[in-house]
Amino acid sequence: MIMDDYLLIKEILNGNKELYSEIMKKYHNELFKYIYNMTNNFNDTEDLLQEIFYKVFMILKKFNPNKASFRTWIYRVSKNYVINHLKSANYRLHHGNYEYDDTINKSKEDIEENAINDNRIDMVLKAMSNVLSKKHFEIMHLHYFSNLTVKEISESLGIPNKTVYKAIKSSIEKIKKEVG
């Protein structure tokens, strides 16, 4: 049985810490995709996700269901954590710590089909980065690549729902023009 996030958190905070694994199971895949889209590195994503789950556990008592849903809150925590990591990773990158990622060679997936899909996604992402402001890019990324609702994006970024709707609509028009 899957419990509502709020009830699950109440139980965890009341001492039933084993239930935290339910939170991790529930949010693992979607947060992994979200973080990977920010880092483009499988190993960093795995490490960051574990660190984020630990951090969320440590600050769980700060979650306020009156301000945002748990999903929105965990995305906000994740975003801030990854941004801080990227700032420090940027320093390491400029000092020559490069790693070769051999994951694709070990995969049993249909690489050709994935490459075609990746190419389409890359085309859209390139169009997005060419024609959208940083804020609109982030809104589109959260909506289409992390599957956040307009309400969740609004809560996560601290902007009105109407602004999110307008940003999505105008962004789609700009992307369509750019892609052709």
Residue that terminates a domain, selected from 61, 90, 107? 107
137 shares a domain with 97: no
Give the CATH number of the domain where residue 92 resides: 1.10.1740.10
For 128, the domain range is 110-180
Residue pLDDT, tens place only, 102-116:
554 455 555 556 556
88 shares a domain with 75: yes
124 shares a domain with 169: yes
Mean pLDDT score, 85-108: 55
48 shares a domain with 26: yes
Three-state helix/strand/coil letters over 133-169 = CHHHHHHHHHHHHCCCCHHHHHHHHCCCHHHHHHHHH
- Is 35:64 a contact under the CB 8 Å cutoff? no
pTM higher than 0.95 for the full model? no
Residue pLDDT, tens place only, 23-59:
999 999 999 998 988 888 888 899 999 999 999 999 9
